[in-house]
Structure 1
Amino acid sequence: MNIITQLVILTLSLLLVNADLYCTNLYKDFKHKCTPSMITIKSCCDLKTFIPSPGVYKMSTRTFGTSDVYCDTATDNGGWIVIQRNRKDSTVDFNKTWVDYEKGFGKLKGDFWYGLEAIHCFTQIGQWEMRVDYQKNDKTWSYLHYNQFSVGSASEEYPLTVGGFTGEGTDHFASHPLNGMKFSTLDNDNDKRGGNCASRLKSGWWYNNCELINVNEQPPDVGGNVRVLFTEMKIRPKDCNTH
Structure 2
Amino acid sequence: GVYTIQPEGASTPFKVLCDMRTDGGWTVIQSRDRSRRRPLDFERCWQEYKQGFGDLTGDHWLGLEHISGLTSQPGLRAELLVDLLDTDNHTLEAHYDNFHVDKEDQFYQLTLGRYSGNAGDAFRGLGHTDNQEGCGFSTLDRDHDRCSPCVDGARTFASCSHDLSGAGWWYSDCGRA
TM over 0.5: yes
Tell me the C-alpha RMSD between the 2 structures. 1.2
Aligned to 1:144: 94
Q: Is the 8 A contact 1:96 1:203 kept in 2?
A: yes
Aligned to 1:122: 70
Q: Is the 8 A contact 1:149 1:163 kept in 2?
A: yes
Aligned to 1:33: none
TM-score normalised to structure 1 length: 0.63
Q: Is the 8 A contact 2:110 2:132 kept in 1?
A: yes
Aligned residues: 158
The CA distance in 1 between the partners of 2:43 and 2:72, in whole Å, is 27
Please identify runs of 4+ aligned residues in structure 1 that moved more than 4 A.
Answer: none
Deviations 1:183-241 (A, max 9, x none): 0000001111212111111200000011222xxxxxxxxxxxxxxxxxxxxxxxxxxxx
Aligned to 2:83: 133
Sequence identity percentage: 37
Runs of 5+ unmatched residues, structure 2: 150-157
Letter in 2 for 1:98: W
Deviations 1:22-69 (A, max 9, x none): xxxxxxxxxxxxxxxxxxxxxxxxxxxxxxxxx111112222231111
Runs of 5+ unmatched residues, structure 1: 1-54, 214-243
**Helix, strand or coil for the counterpart of 2:124?**
helix
Q: Is the 8 A contact 1:98 1:187 kept in 2?
A: yes
Q: Find 2:40's aligned residue among 92, 95, 99.
A: 92
Deviations 1:45-100 (A, max 9, x none): xxxxxxxxxx111112222231111011110222x110000011552110100000
Aligned to 2:173: 209
Q: Is the 8 A contact 1:163 1:179 kept in 2?
A: no
Structure having the higher Rg: 1
Deviations 1:112-166 (A, max 9, x none): 0000011101111221100011111001111110001010001111000012101
The CA distance in 2 between the partners of 1:189 and 1:196, in whole Å, is 6
Aligned to 1:46: none
**Larger fraction in helix:** 1
**Helix, strand or coil for the counterpart of 1:99?**
helix
Q: Is the 8 A contact 1:157 1:183 kept in 2?
A: yes
The CA distance in 2 between the partners of 1:119 and 1:152, in whole Å, is 9
**Helix, strand or coil for the counterpart of 1:174?**
coil
Relative to structure 1, is the Cα distance of residues 94 and 131 closer, same or farther in structure 2, using a 3 angstrom cutoff? same
The CA distance in 1 between the partners of 2:168 and 2:119, in whole Å, is 24
The CA distance in 2 between the partners of 1:188 and 1:123, in whole Å, is 22
**Helix, strand or coil for the counterpart of 2:23?**
helix
